[in-house]
A = this chain, B = another copy of it.
Amino acid sequence: MKSVFKSPLSLTVLASCLLSVGAIAAPANDPATLAQIRDSAMKSDWAYERLADLTDLVGPRLSGSAGAAAAVEQVAAAMRKLGAKVTLQPVKVPHWVRGAETAELVDYNGRPAGITQKIVLTALGGSGATPAAGLTAPVLVVRSLDELKAKAAQVKGSIVLVDVPFDQELADRGHAGAAYGPGAGFRYVGPKMAAELGAAAALVRSVGGANFRIPHTGVTGLVDGARIPAAAITTEDVLLLDRLLARGPVKMHLTLTPQNLPDADSFNVIADWPGSDKADEVVIVSGHLDSWDLGTGAHDDGTGVAGAMGVIETLKKLNLHPRRTIRVIAWMNEENGTRGGKAYFDANKDKLDKHFAAIESDSGGGRPFGFIGSVTPPMVKYFAPLKDALAPIGAGQFERHDIAGAADTSPMERAGVPVFEPMVDSSAYFNYHHTPADTLDKVSPLELKRHVAVMTSLSWFLANMEQPIGRTAHQDSED
């Protein structure tokens, strides 16, 4: 032994051999390996650099745009550079392009001659267009879909505002998703219902916190044949409308000229880090690559994509190879169609039994506290080593949900594949989400390191689990 330690070179060689041997021979989910993964992720800037490439060099990445195409190339190239096996899975995506968007109140009680009041808004995904010169109609505010239906006679020919406030207080208490849900639901359904009732246009209150007169975009359920102009207006402008409507009728002039173009060709980026003895089984770790066009999609969902990419970078650096294949996916079209998730599901319908689990991160890059997963209750106890490994960075919580619920993985989840997500602080996420302010400076490099630590540890743990994880509790309970 003594002679071996004489030379620093020999020492390095030995250590390197031990590491390689250790990676293959040690129990896959031993505490030392999990600690090594966590600590390596906490020291790496690589994922943040990829996030900067994505947001600074490419920027917005709405499905069908040049940005989305450039993002596909950029992520695929970075994954190939790490040595991952990259596949581009073709996906036909909706191709909606924003146009002019202006609005002003042209008549209201007490309006001085020559005055109009500007309304700040942004078109919603799938919005139809007004004539190029705009349209003018009375504004009708409703606060529920029931009220919308009950006022059908007034809806016809009106600009209907569906006013459902975002509950920031609920978000602050840790229930950001619950705060977002009602408004997002109305945003999807409200314009469609207003269109069916003959509205001239539909507006929704921006679904998000932080009132700095920025509109939050999002997708609608509008379809050809009943496609009316639809936009999100800022909270401030909703309040202005409420006050002016208390003085009497209000008329708005609205101009929205987006285009709904034929479906475009795009791709899911799939990068495999091959497994060893169970290489035919797959653990997906993913985020969505497309983003809304107003900001640069840093939190939504640049952090998810960069976090998933960071999994392979971490494992490669540590020369770690899992038993099951770890499959990084950068999904296309989560925002306005979920076509990427559907295309993957359709192509893998017959191989779902080989999908051990799927992770998707799409709640922003806030501080991670742990992870959630839609496993059956008896499975929870097997995650103790993973919780222990993540506890030192404050990310050791595991919440079991019946449905984890990220959009792209949900078809698999409904078919029984257990789905996981990092559990993060999303209390400020909806301040930026779907707005021009979703930019790189909002993402903490430190939290992104924690994010990669959680994503990599969880992927590794699942890919090496001895215990068969089984299917989700709610399998077959839905379509």
Question: Inside 8 A of A243's CB, which chain B residues have their CB?
Answer: 52, 56, 440
Instruction: Choose, from A114-122, A313-321, A402-410, the stretch at the interface.
Output: A114-122
Cross-chain contact A435 with B213 (CB below 8 angstroms)? yes
Known contacts A56-B240, A240-B440, A441-B236, A431 near B212 by CB under 8 Å: yes
Instruction: Choose, from A66-74, A225-233, A280-288, A332-340, the stretch at the interface.
Output: A66-74
A279 at the interface (CB under 8 A from B): no
Q: What CA separation (Å) do A56 and B116 show in the bound complex?
A: 10
Cross-chain contact B73 with A112 (CB below 8 angstroms)? yes
Question: Inside 8 A of A82's CB, which chain B residues have their CB?
Answer: none
Cross-chain contact B115 with A57 (CB below 8 angstroms)? yes
Interface string of A426-460 (1 = CB under 8 A from B): 00000110011101111000000000000000000
Question: Inside 8 A of A59's CB, which chain B residues have their CB?
Answer: 115, 117-118
Question: Inside 8 A of A120's CB, which chain B residues have their CB?
Answer: 436
Q: List 28 A-B contacts (CB under 8 A).
A: A52-B243, A53-B110, A56-B110, A56-B240, A56-B243, A57-B108, A57-B112, A57-B115, A58-B112, A59-B118, A60-B118, A66-B112, A69-B114, A74-B112, A120-B436, A210-B212, A211-B441, A211-B442, A212-B214, A212-B432, A213-B214, A213-B435, A213-B436, A213-B439, A236-B439, A239-B439, A239-B441, A240-B439
A-B contact sample (13 more), CB < 8 A, given A210-B212, A212-B431:
A52-B243, A56-B110, A56-B244, A57-B108, A57-B110, A57-B112, A58-B112, A59-B117, A69-B114, A70-B113, A212-B214, A213-B435, A236-B439
